[in-house]
A = this chain, B = another copy of it.
């Protein structure tokens, strides 16, 4: 799955944060509008040759990250601090390279990951312009105790999460994941859903949030949620929550 770097090159692991609001996602079809494109262009500028970066996974348009991880191979002889400073200098304010270090050639941002941690923020009611790009504004009442109960009783643990994913063309055969954490935390009008698993299916976090919100609204009972899970069928009962509330917090290795 991994190929060794060319002679003289080092494998680098970078942790980055980004505001996904104005990007077409981590990776896009149209060149230039994706976060990956911007970072690769910066690397090419510094190193004088094209470099491909490999992330722990893609994030969709509008999704944010505090701890996305990517790796790449490059020859650089002036130490990681200078490398980080040089790279960071030319990036937009919306992308921040947090740490950069040389790693073993066996490291792969995607295949070495043993888990991921996401958070999703909902604001019950209106928000100011400073938090608006980072929350799902929800204007109907939610029974958050019921949502927390549904999370613990039905979704937490090792399950086939096929009903809570979107397939985007290609069917994945293995849809069993170990959801190690799914907390529903309320503080005033702010609701935070924290999800950690060994891995996530496509649009899984946003689908889990959509399903929990349906439970909170009383549109779906806890028993119906369980039946939905066991059906392994994606139905119209589960909506995908909007991207702006979602943050990739951390990739676990």
Give the interface of A toward B (CB within 8 A): 17-19, 64, 66, 93-96, 126, 128-130, 132-134
Report copies per complex: 2
A128 and B93 within 8 A (CB): no
A117 CB to nearest chain B CB (Å): 16
Residues of A contacting B: mostly: mixed
A163 CB to nearest chain B CB (Å): 32
* Complex contacts, A134 vs chain B, CB 8 Å: 130
18 pairs of residues in contact across A and B, judged by CB atoms under 8 Å: A17-B128, A17-B129, A17-B130, A18-B129, A19-B129, A19-B130, A64-B130, A66-B128, A93-B129, A93-B132, A93-B133, A94-B129, A95-B129, A96-B126, A96-B128, A96-B129, A96-B132, A130-B134
* Complex contacts, A18 vs chain B, CB 8 Å: 129
A116 CB to nearest chain B CB (Å): 18
A53 CB to nearest chain B CB (Å): 18
Which of A18, A66, A129 is the most central at the interface, judged by chain B CB atoms within 10 Å of its CB? A129
